[in-house]
Amino acid sequence: MVQRQLPNPVELLELMKFKKPELDGRKRRLESALTIADLRLIAKRRTPKAAFDYTDGSAEGEISLTRARQAFEDVEFHPGILKPAPDVDTSVDILGGPSALPFAIAPTGFTRLMQTEGEIAGAGAAAAAGIPFTLSTLGTTSIEGVKAANPHGRNWFQLYVMRDREISYELTRRAAAAGFDTLHFTVDTPVAGARLRDKRNGFSIPPQLTLGTIINAIPRPWWWFDFLTTPKLEFASLSTTGGTVGELLDAAMDPTISYEDLAVIRDLWPGKIVIKGVQNVEDSVRLRDAGVDGIVLSNHGGRQLDRAPIPFHLLPSVRKAVGDDFTVMIDTGIMNGADIVASVALGADFTLIGRAYLYGLMAGGRQGVDRTIAILRTEIERTMRLLGVASLEELTPAHVTQLARLVPVTRDAAEVAAR
């Protein structure tokens, strides 16, 4: 029999200690977010459908993005035991400079559409965290505006080579003059991918008020208040706006981009240059031999060619082919600090986050971006401790297995299966 007694009033009082309520609504909702997925849910509640879907969606059937995220979920870690790591060092030297964490904020277009603070919030948060910030050619804050927001940190610029080459050349000169130290020469956007969510939503720049958008705005008055009471939403580096995203990209991009264009930009740019959008081993080796400073394995977040290669799956083969002394970075599908740790273990020197940053921005502006970085930092540090490594340099391929879900079918195997 369990012995029972009347509750002790003193013990009851000790239990009845309530947490002080947080009156700041933004701070309260951000503190409730423990993962990037939590930030995404908050962002979805607070952002009009067209703007959220532009961020959240990808091309056609969204197969590339689904596969990229699945690849990270299919990681198996192999921790070492009896290897204490009470303190972990998450810093890294990348492209001639330091970063306090093994990731940068990736270039994203139309960023003030998601939340009015836009690139200023991203650059400020990156500066506070000691990581690089990357501005897109299609950004809604100028090169000079980002420099002002992050005057002492590392700023990178993502360049599209346009039909009117002089526009691209002038942007390159401006970024160099502003002290940006790395150029991301982007090669995976000869034309726009078919982003069907945007077409179905009638998404355009600037947003157009329709009956549907008005109905969708009713439960999100704060977004529309910000949109209507802040400077006009437009491209900071381009003079032509108006139309769907696909129409804007098709008007600006040029499918004839080539190694000759790379050579011209290389001559104009005084800093480091990396090629963003590399999707096979052969191109990786060719670019290394061409003398660029690094590459970003990327399928543009699944937003261009659907069913494109999965960057995380390519990583080990590319690292083996280009050797240890060539900078290899990776993006697409990163939603957890463990994804970043796995990438570094399999050979990535660095990673970039796009949607994870934008979910935080939509959830809470600058504070939301700070929260994104804090979540990823905590996950990176915890994963490293659980693996028994004290620094990123200690991570090796032995710490990770990529579990096979998508296995290429050879012709012989297919013929056997058909019999």
Q: Is residue 416 part of a domain?
A: no
Establish whether 46 is an annotated binding residue. no
Is 354 a known ligand-binding residue? yes
Whole-angstrom distance, CA of residue 386 vs CA of residue 394:
13
- What is the rounded CA–CA span in Å between residue 345 and residue 402? 11
Q: Residue 415 domain-assigned? A: no
Q: Which CATH number goes with the domain that contains 88? A: 3.20.20.70
Distance separating alpha carbons of residues 385 and 288, to the nearest angstrom = 34
Per-residue pLDDT at 243: 57
Residue 8 banded pLDDT, cuts 50, 70, 90: confident
Residue 412 in domain: no
Instruction: Name the more confident of 238 and 161.
Output: 161
User: Using one digit for the tens of pLDDT, what is the confidence trace for 78-88?
Assistant: 998 888 778 99
153 is in an annotated binding site: no
- What residue type is assigned to position 205 of the chain? I
For residues 392 and 343, the answer to whether their CB atoms sit within 8 Å is no
* Omega within 30 of 0 (cis) for the link into 190: no
On whether residue 355 sits in a domain, the answer given is yes
* pTM for this prediction: 0.91
243 annotated as ligand-binding:
no
Quick one: CA torsion of 378, 382, 388, 393, rounded to 10 degrees? -20
Q: Is residue 321 part of a domain?
A: yes
Query: What is each CA distance from 181 to 153, 184, 418, in whole angstroms?
Result: 10, 10, 55
Cα–Cα distances in angstroms (integers) from residue 106 to residues 84, 111, 139, 351, 356, in the given order:
33, 11, 12, 9, 10
Residue 7 lies in a domain: no
Cα diameter, the chain:
87
Contacts for 5-12: CB closer than 8 Å, 24+ residues apart:
none
Q: Which two tokens stand for residue 100?
A: 């306090």
**Mean pLDDT throughout 412-417?**
52
User: Which pLDDT belongs to residue 144?
Assistant: 95
Domain range spanning residue 373? 25-402
Q: Which of 40-54, 117-131, 342-356 has the lowest mean pLDDT?
A: 40-54
Kindly indicate the confidence band of residue 246, based on its pLDDT and cuts at 50, 70 and 90. Answer: low
Q: What pLDDT is stored for residue 411 in this prediction?
A: 56
Q: Inform me whether the pLDDT recorded for 169 exceeds 70.
A: yes
Q: Is residue 389 part of a domain?
A: yes
The answer on whether 160 is annotated among ligand-binding residues is yes
Q: Is 364 exposed, middle or buried (0-12, 13-18, 19+ CB in 10 A)?
A: buried
Check: CB of residue 402 under 8 Å from CB of residue 313: yes
Task: Say whether 239 counts as a known binding-site residue.
Answer: no
Distance CA 92, CA 89 (A): 9
300 in active site: yes
Cβ contact 336:379 at 8 Å: yes
Residue 295 in any domain: the answer is: yes
Which one of 184, 300, 313, 399 is the catalytic residue?
300
Task: Flag whether 259 is marked binding.
Answer: no
- 78 in a known ligand binding site: no
Closest CA to 385 of 91, 92, 90: 90
CA separation for the pair 119, 113 (Å, rounded): 10
SS (H, E, C) the chain: CCCCCCCCHHHHHHHCCCCCCCCCHHHHHHHCCCCHHHHHHHHHHHCCHHHHHHHHCCCCCCHHHHHHHHHHHCEEECCCCCCCCCCCECCEEECCEEECCCEEECCCCCHHHHCCCHHHHHHHHHHHHCCCEEEECCCCCCHHHHHHHCCCCCEEEEECCECCHHHHHHHHHHHHHCCCCEEEEECCCCCCCCCHHHHHHCCECCCCCCHHHHHHHCCCHHHHHHHHCCCCCCCCCCCCCCCEHHHHHHHHECCCCCHHHHHHHHHHCCCEEEEEEECCHHHHHHHHHHCCCEEEECCHHHCCCCCCCCHHHHHHHHHHHHCCCCEEEECCCCCCHHHHHHHHHCCCCEEEECHHHHHHHHHHHHHHHHHHHHHHHHHHHHHHHHHCCCEHHHCCHHHEEECCCCCCCCHHHHHHHHC
Confidence band of 416 (pLDDT split at 50, 70, 90) = very low
**Terminal-residue alpha carbon distance, the chain:** 69
The structural domain count of the chain equals 1
Average pLDDT over residues 48-60: 91
The predicted pLDDT at position 119 comes to 96
Q: Is 276 annotated as a binding residue?
A: yes
Q: Which pLDDT belongs to residue 163?
A: 86
Tell me the C-alpha distance between 24 and 306, whole Å.
42
Task: Match 């596969």 to its residue by tokens.
Answer: 67
Among 16-30, 102-116, 303-317, the least confident range: 16-30
pLDDT bracket for residue 24 (50, 70, 90): confident
Radius of gyration (C-alpha) of the chain in whole angstroms: 23
**Whole-number average pLDDT of the chain:** 90
